Amino acid sequence: MSAVIQAQPLADWAMACLQAVGMADDDARLLADSLVQTSLWGVDSHGVARLTHYLERLSRGSIKTRPRITITRSGPCTAQLQADQGQGIVVAHRAMAEAIALAQANGIGAVGVTNSSHCGALALYTRPAARQGLVALAFTHSDKMAAPQRGERAFFGTNPIAIALPRADGPELSLDMATTAIPWNRVMNARRTGATLPPDVALDAAGAPTRDAQAARALRPLGGADYGHKGYGLAMMVDLLSGPLHANPLGPELSDMFAELDRPRELGAFFIALDPARFAGGPLLAEAVARMAEALAREPGAALLPGDPELMREAERRRDGIPVDAALAAEWAGWSARLGLAAPALSAGPD
């Protein structure tokens, strides 16, 4: 039986921690709610488990608590956001809000991000845009965590891609995926809990496959040993579109997320929003997504739409609470003591 905590008290505690290290109230609330939402989806690699990492970087100054974020429009449909080493989730919300505004005014909005940090689960930004009737795309890169196809050591990041579309009479269609077999944060969670990694997802220092999270030094690209050229190619494109296009370093030149805690990340990202009404089939796009969902539901088997497992998990966790393992609870207790706050109250989970 694991411990659990309900979403709202967890978000309130997380906000208090972020305020205690110097974040502005609105930014602290936005970040806390985003982390809890990610955990509600069951994306534990990017949810509240990452809070203590952000707190450490905010305390050290490698993420600024109160950055001077600026947005410069470079054309009727384009803009560049200078993040000033701000917290990546806060930055990404602002970037997608700008892309949405541009798309609503001119049909498309494309916003690049310069000098940011880890921005968490990309669905945090694409799902809200789709709920406003837009098509949304998001890309970001990270430091070297993944070996190229036929390679033996890390070169690219997990470099995720997210796409969301509106759906009539139902939740938005949402794809959010890493270009690696698993995200690196899942390795970090496994190191904390002692879990074993799935087969064929990670390599050790010698370039050999490993299921030992402590020994893992690189992830395989999406597609594994035989078909990893697909994930490898996607990772390369995402790196170039997120990094150099927006005056950020290439992924292999970025600071290590977990090892170089005093060095700013200099991460980039790219957010695009489209108004489907500007295209021939746009007025009926949401209905087409709904028809596809209905057709898939009638197919043999138990096919789900991308994003549906996260919504199913959210319903469970809003009812039963967000699970918290013992090691994570200890991290939270340590930070609570460090910041002079009461530790979050946990309860026993369901049998």
Alpha helix locations (H) across the chain?
Answer: 7-20, 25-40, 51-60, 88-106, 123-131, 184-193, 224-227, 229-242, 285-298, 308-320, 326-339
- The pLDDT tens digits for 317-333 are 999 999 999 999 999 99
How is residue 83 written in tokens?
């993040």
pTM of the model as a whole: 0.95
* 182-219 has CATH 3.30.60.50 classification: yes
Place of tokens 């001119």: 106
By residue count, the chain amounts to 351
- CATH 3.30.1370.60 segments of the chain: 68-178+223-303
Kindly state the DSSP code that residue 47 receives in the 8-state scheme: S
- The pLDDT tens digits for 239-295 are 999 999 999 999 999 999 989 999 999 999 999 999 999 999 999 999 999 999 999
CATH fold of the domain at 1-60+321-351? Hypothetical Oxidoreductase Yiak; Chain: A, domain 1 (1.10.1530)
Domain 68-178+223-303 architecture: 2-Layer Sandwich (3.30)
Distance (Å, rounded) from C-alpha 155 to C-alpha 232?
10
Active-site pick, 93, 118, 141, 246:
118
Mean pLDDT by 10 residues, the chain (351 residues): 90 98 98 98 94 98 98 98 98 98 98 97 98 98 94 95 96 97 89 93 96 96 93 97 97 92 97 98 96 96 95 97 95 98 91 62
Q: Please say if 118 is a catalytic residue.
A: yes
- CATH 1.10.1530.10 segments of the chain: 1-60+321-351
